Amino acid sequence: MTTRFSNLQFNRTLVLFVLLLVWVLCALSLRFFYLQQISGYQNSINDQISQRVSMSSVMQAELIDKELSSLAANLKQIGVLSVHSPEQVASFAESLKKLNPTIWHLYLADSKGNITFSTKEGYHPPISVRDYFTEHTKNGLPKFYISSPRQSIIQESALYIAVSYPIRNAEEQFIGVVVATLKSDDLTDQLGNITKNKNISAMLTDRSGKLIWSSSLGEGQQKDDVYSLCRDHRYQASKEMGIHRIKLDNNAQCDFQFLEKWEMFSIVAENRVSAEQSIQQYQQEMFHRNIIILMAFTLLLFFLGNQLLKQIESRRLLAILNQRNKAIIDAMPDLLLTMREDGTIIDHEVQDNFPLMIAASKLNGMNLKDLLEPEMVDKKLALMAQTIDTGEPTTMEYPLMVNGEEYYFLERLTALDEKHVLACIIDITSRHEAESKLEWQAFHDGLTGLANRLMFFEFLNKLIHDYRRNTREFTILFIDLNGFKEINDNYGHHAGDEVLKHTAQQLSNILRQTDTVARLGGDEFAILLPETSSGQAKRVINTIAETIQQPIDYNGTSLSVTASIGMAACPHDATSADELLNVADKRMYEIKSSNR
């Protein structure tokens, strides 16, 4: 009896030991899987935040570079016009403001800081003490300068930054600056919807960390608030090019890229508060879940299927996270494609108004070869292979015909793994059309469509360079219309405009395709005749004179003008631009005086 009792006690002890051992093994297993799940969940959130912020930082840097490059080219153009064609500054500035909604106002100031032109009406105080003026006078800055954010004296709620460029004459002497002011809200709208996400903010700083622009600068802030932000938004940054990741003390994770051309950092930061709350919530849910599972293991040792429940719960929580990420991706512009290395599309996200060649529902499973021309497919596949091999993102711009209309797209490829890439595609058709229109306006006369003074001198310099290399002669003609002022005075400027357009059309019709005809201003025209001797040019002059004096009908009235034409031949008269122009101009006025 004692032996049986002892065996029973032993069996109980053994059972308790086995149960305890199973309980400990279950507890250790649960703890192990708990730590693995928490770690995996945290890594997944961190990687997704890092990818979002990294991609946003690079894309924003590219948009900022293109925006500032376009603005810089236009400021230089205004500076050139202010020296050579001041009468065209106002029309060019107004056209630029209409085509570029980011620009608030445009100014021209002389060497003392006095405003000589402005698109803003009213009184304009001197800007001689402004940093965007003093940087060019005191420090002799030869390039563009971008100021810190400031507020308008008149409109206290309007935050803006100023971009300036020095104007120099032919002797490289400083004679003033051209300034463009950009409202912070307008710049925020121009850079895309990502800056409006409540968890994501974007900013620009100079090399030292001084704030230039931030999407968090809203209307209604006082000047002290702006200066405080300038002090607080100082990020520790590397001077090396490329993307750098840091975690800030204010619980934000950010990526930024150094723009060498503009000596500034493009920073995009995402607040991690919601992510940390999601992780803490997941930890609490997993902790409570494992306590319940451990109690179930204690009561029911055979209940070993809890891992399946945890996996289902993990998938549910990951689905919630994926839904949140999908909502953030939907807020980003245009089209995202996930593709295999052979060009097969396996997933996509697209905005409703994005131009597609086929219905969005048919994209998944399609191959680029079924959608694009072979040349474009080969180029894209080569870039995809380069992206996967190097691990570095690649970017391309290209035109594409969609539903009979030409669109322009900016595409950025990022490697996801060894066989897949992510393509982010933005529709830049409007920007491309605006740039093309501005480029045409910069080199053509708005009334007649002929080349303007800038294009004329560019072609003249090319002909002089060609003569010095290949000894090819050419001739310049200066034309002044006689009787044009009387038509303007008697019939109005509209009649004068019709005469100018008719004259331009007639000149274009009788000249060769290799010749260049330009309107220099008013009723003055100039013509470049490549590979033409002075004898040949005289025959052209006779043809021009006969053609121009032919009358035109204006509202039942016959209007006519004549032409005084001066000629200069290279190398017979001179071999430099200034000398040739002086000779042609002098001869034109001699002929005009002799005809009076």
Give one DSSP letter per residue of 140-206, joined into a string. ---S-EEPPPEE-SS-TT-EEEEEEEEEE-TT--EEEEEEEEEEHHHHHHHT-GGGGSTTEEEEEEE
CA-based radius of gyration for the chain? 36
Task: Work out the percent of the chain whose per-residue pLDDT is above 90.
Answer: 5
Domain boundaries along the sequence of the chain = 332-432, 444-595
Q: Does the domain at residues 444-595 carry the CATH identifier 3.30.70.270?
A: yes
* 282 half-sphere exposure, CB direction, 13 A CA radius: 27
Tell me how crowded residue 232 is: count the other CB atoms within 10 A of its CB: 9
Q: Got the DSSP string for 311-370?
A: HHHHHHHHHHHHHHHHHHHHHSSSEEEEEETTSBEEEEEE-TTS--SS-GGG-TT-BGGG
Decide which of 553 and 143 is more confident: 553
What CA–CA distance (Å, rounded) separates 55 from 62? 11
pLDDT tens, 287-330? 888 788 777 767 666 544 344 445 545 655 565 556 655 654 55
Residue 240 pLDDT = 35
CA–chain centroid gap for 473, Å, is 43
Closest of 371, 379, 364 to residue 413, by C-alpha: 379
| CA atoms 426, 427, 428, 430: torsion sign | negative
Whose tokens are 């570095």? That residue is 392
Q: Which pLDDT does position 304 carry in this prediction?
A: 42
The SS3 of residue 208 is coil
Domain 332-432 bears CATH identifier 2.60.120.260: no
Token pair 């998944």 in the structure block, residue: 364
Torsions phi, psi of 501, nearest 5? -65, -40
Which is more confidently placed, 524 or 3?
524
Number of neighbouring beta carbons within 10 Å of residue 345:
19
- C-alpha span between 54 and 243 (Å, rounded): 7
Q: Which residue has the tokens 């060649």?
A: 357
What is the mean pLDDT of the segment spanning 11-17?
56
Q: Which of 128-142, 195-209, 240-254, 370-384 holds the top average pLDDT? A: 370-384
pLDDT of 219 reads 39
What was the pLDDT predicted at 34?
Answer: 78
pLDDT band at 354 (very low <50, low <70, confident <90, very high): confident
| Fold equal for 332-432 and 444-595 | no
Supply the DSSP string of 52-95, one letter for each residue.
Answer: HHHHHHHHHHHHHHHHHHHHHHHHHHHHHHHHH-GGGHHHHHHH
Q: What is the pLDDT of residues 432-484, one digit of tens each?
A: 777 778 777 777 888 888 888 888 988 999 998 888 888 889 999 999 988 88
Residue of 112, 83, 110, 88 whose CA lies nearest to 171: 83
Q: Which residue has the tokens 């500035």?
A: 93
Element (H, E) at 403: none
DSSP type of residue 242 = S
User: What's the CA gap between 259 and 245, in Å, rounded?
Assistant: 16
pLDDT tens for 82-103 read 888 888 888 888 888 888 888 8
Does residue 480 sit in helix, strand or coil?
strand
pLDDT of residue 517: 92
Report the chain's mean pLDDT, rounded to a whole number. Answer: 77
Prediction pTM value: 0.40
Q: What is the pLDDT of residues 481-534, one digit of tens each?
A: 888 888 888 888 898 899 899 989 988 888 888 899 999 888 899 999 998 888
Which helix (H) or strand (E) segment holds residue 503: the answer is: helix 493-510
Mean pLDDT, residues 374-402 taken together: 86
Amino acid at 458: E
